[in-house]
Amino acid sequence: MKNIKDYNLDRLKEEIKEMGEKPFRAEQIFKWLYQDKVTSFDDMLNLSLDLREKLKQNYTICDFNVLKKQESKDRYKKIFI
């Protein structure tokens, strides 16, 4: 799943448009994420339930940055944050 915080506003507008939504929704999402600091799409009350469900199905809201990923031969993965 993709971290919605990895997108800048212009790229998020493109993503939202691809979902069949109006690009101004990206600005609303940005406000919720960076001004209101919500941690759940359910808290974004000025978005439709349908859009919130689409967001939950396709994105996460994650505040950490991955510094390094390692994968062993037996496919175990380590992620350093």
Domain with residue 49: its CATH number is 1.10.150.530
Instruction: Tell me the backbone φ, ψ of residue 29, rounded to 5 degrees.
Output: -65, -45
Residue 8: is its pLDDT beyond 60? yes
> pTM higher than 0.85, yes or no?
no
| 38 burial level (CB within 10 Å; 0-12, 13-18, 19+) | middle
Amino acid type, 44: M
- Predicted local confidence at residue 64, as pLDDT: 65
Q: Which domain holds residue 31?
A: 2-80
pLDDT tens digits for 25-71? 999 999 999 999 999 999 999 999 999 999 999 999 987 655 567 77
Say how many domains are in the chain: 1
Residue 81: is its pLDDT beyond 60? no
Separation CA 65–CA 34 (nearest Å):
16
- Predicted local confidence at residue 78, as pLDDT: 58
Residue 79: is its pLDDT beyond 80? no
